[in-house]
Structure 1
Amino acid sequence: MMRFDEQVAVVTGAGAGLGRAYAIALAERGARLAIIDSGSGDSRCQSYAGAGLNKTARTLAELGADCLSFQLDVTDSQALKSAIETVLKRWGRIDIAINNAGIHTPVSFDSLSFEQWQRQLDVDLNGSFHLTKLVWPQMKRQNYGRIVMTAGASGLYGDMHETPYSTSKMALVGLVNSLAKEGRDYNISVNTLVPEALTAMTAHHLSPLVKPLFSTSSVNATLLYLCSSTACSGQHLLAAAGSVSHGMFVEFQPLRIVEDGCKPEVIAQRWDELYRAQPCHFHESGEEQVTAWARRSAAEHHVDIE
């Protein structure tokens, strides 16, 4: 059985929904928890910066988990820094960081204000940056770390009235792609989880017919795998309704056009040929993509780049 005994996990947005489910799942498998949320309430955990996280804290206490509770907004980098310092003073390490805090307010682009746009980025993207930046040095020192970013299907594919949400979530995918490479030599795995489960945030757009299908089971299982010593890194996992899948960005077979003949009219004329042309190609990095472009052109121009 996968266990997390003596490991320390920090979970943001832990007051409700999936953040609460993640904290409980980790506690049931022996982890020590530092739970963070901007909500308020009574707490049976030792609490800092407010009363905070009553429901989750009580459940963790009933499970016998060692935990700390922090009521703060993840956009407040100084408050977050103080919380992480407290965690390190208490336990001396941080093994797992789950960036789950997020907001979701559908709005048409016509009605979207810059303040709404900025708030979405501040919570979802910058909040994840702040926590990750704080735990990164400690994880490097201990030569171990597991970091999970919470993305969303709308970020991968887009949806109506979701431009700020989609933007912030897709930005996290880019963060994972590059940060995982920096963590490789320090045994720090960084991954994206794209979850969907029945919570207060999602209840309004799941039909009554399918709501029972969206339990937290597959989401929790995927999250626990990403927190484990056997976790992959630099990957994007989608989990919902009993399904777990692996997603990535791929390049379809390129359409080679002689440079002098490469005009917008040609692309328009050959779009059906270009769109989703097989086979697909996966590139490990942006540099690898650039190399692929160079090799294609070099071969046609009889240039040896090997």
Structure 2
Amino acid sequence: MSLDFSGRVAIVTGAGGGLGREHALALAKRGAKVVVNDLGGARDGSGGSASAAQAVVDEIIAAGGEAIANSASVTDFAAVLAMVQETMDKWGRIDILINNAGILRDKSFGKMELDDFRLVIEVHLMGSVNCCKAVWPIMTAQNYGRIMMTTSSSGLYGNFGQSNYSAAKLGLVGLMQTLSIEGAKHDIRVNALAPTAATRMTNGLYPEAMLNAIQASDVVPAMLVLAAQDAPNRTILCAGAGSFEAAHISLTKGVYLGRDENVEEALLARLSEVTDPAGQSIPANGIAQGHQEITAAMSAQQF
């Protein structure tokens, strides 16, 4: 697998600091031309400034790389389209999209305002949708693209006080699943990364000693692999503190119960069998999950 990005053009959102900055610097170091996008707002999404993105661009240029700054909000589709057009005007192609922009508005669900729920969904999920939509025709036409969604363990497994963030982050996995299928014929590979890293987004979530163990730079290798020419497709990588794992949405073998009377009681009685992970599989797509159920019914000669 080659991790040489010479000649490639990458857009990294939320790249003014933290993980996004590390992603942008690493791609540029390996030869990519980078659009450093960052609204420059606070952790909760308020405010905005172009200085954060420009500072990263200055770092890249000082190291001999090529980069431009962009302060578009990923929630503004017109601004995202303008960013993509600016990139095409300057470099003529877009090979890599790293969807990293995000905000936090943590609070327990019972105390959370719906506006805070909607805004987090808008930035994380719809922001990624906007960026994917803007680059999709370009990647389709050039028959090449690498897109990375930034998901989270909070989306995959839940986390107290983060219902809005969790919903957005698992939504990105669903988006990745379908785009990876739709983009395959044009060699557009779509994957997701669940990082564990010390950034301003994690301030206050971990003790100091633990924060020192989860540096943002530790996540970069997983991003580079998912953005590479030889990248996998439809993969969820987890990364942090020097460790790497893959997460899967799997399907148990289940139990066929048919349509007999009292099937509800039978399901309750055999629920432990239904949830037994032994022999579980990873369906190739949603149809494959339905096929498993239909096959069981046909084998029982119920139709």
What TM-score, normalized to structure 1? 0.92
Aligned pairs for 1:166-181 within 5 A? 166-181=166-181
Structure 1, 12-21 or 59-68: larger mean CA deviation = 59-68
Q: What's the offset of the Cα at 1:271? A: 2.5
CA contact under 8 A between 2:214 and 2:241: conserved in structure 1?
yes
Kindly state the Cα deviation for residue 277 of structure 1 after the two structures are TM-superposed.
4.4
Residue of structure 1 equivalent to 2:45: none
The correspondence of residues 79-228 of structure 1 with structure 2, limited to 5 A, is: 79-228=79-228
Matched letter for residue 256 of structure 2: R
Q: Distance in 2 between matches of 1:204 and 1:295?
A: 50
**Partners of 1:12 and 1:19 within 8 A in 2:** yes
Alignment partners' CA distance in 2, 1:140 and 1:123: 25
Give the structure 1 partner of residue 44 of structure 2: none
What residue in structure 2 maps to residue 278 of structure 1? 278
Q: State the match for 1:2 in structure 2.
A: 3
Task: Identify the residue that residue 255 of structure 1 maps to in structure 2.
Answer: 255
**Hey, what's the Cα distance between the residues in 2 that align with 1:179 and 1:123?**
19
Identity of aligned residues (%): 33
Structure 1 pair 255–23 and aligned structure 2 pair: CA distance change class (3 A): same
1:2-50: CA deviation from partner (whole Å, max 9, x where unpaired): 211111000000011000000000011111011111118xxxxxxxx95
Aligned residues, how many?
A: 295
The corresponding residue for 2:298 is 298
- Superposition map of 1:224-239 within 5 A: 224-239=224-239
Q: Distance in 2 between matches of 1:179 and 1:273?
A: 33
Once the two structures are TM-superposed, the CA of residue 134 in structure 1 deviates from its matched residue by: 0.6
Which consecutive residues of structure 2, in runs of 5 or more, have no partner in the other structure? Answer: 42-48
Matches within 5 A, 1:4-23: 4-23=5-24
RMSD of Structure 2 on Structure 1 (CA):
1.7
Q: Using the alignment, how far apart are the partners of 1:72 and 1:147 within structure 2?
A: 19
User: Does 2:60 align with 1:26?
Assistant: no
Matched letter for residue 14 of structure 1: A
Which secondary structure does the structure 2 equivalent of 1:34 belong to? strand
Q: How many angstroms apart in 2 are the aligned matches of 1:277 and 1:235?
A: 20
Counterpart of 1:154 in 2: which secondary structure?
A: helix
The one-letter code of the counterpart of 2:148 is V
1:262 positional shift: 4.8
SS in structure 1 of the partner of residue 110 of structure 2: coil
1:149-171 CA distance string (max 9 Å, x none):
00010000111111110100000
- Residue range with higher mean Cα deviation, 16-25 or 294-303: 294-303
1:140/1:262 Cα in 2 relative to 1: closer, same or farther (>3 Å)?
Answer: farther
Letter in 2 for 1:250: S
Is the CA contact 2:38–2:50 (under 8 Å) kept in the aligned structure 1?
no
1:52 to partner: Cα distance:
5.3
Contact 2:257–2:267 at 8 Å: present in 1 too? no
In the aligned structure 2, how far is the partner of 1:278 from the partner of 1:130? 39
Counterpart Cα distance in 2 of 1:243 and 1:86: 37
Q: For structure 1, list consecutive stretches of 5 or more residues without a partner in the other structure.
A: 41-48
Helix, strand or coil at the partner of 1:210? helix
Q: Secondary structure at the match of 2:192?
A: strand
Q: Distance in 2 between matches of 1:301 and 1:259?
A: 12
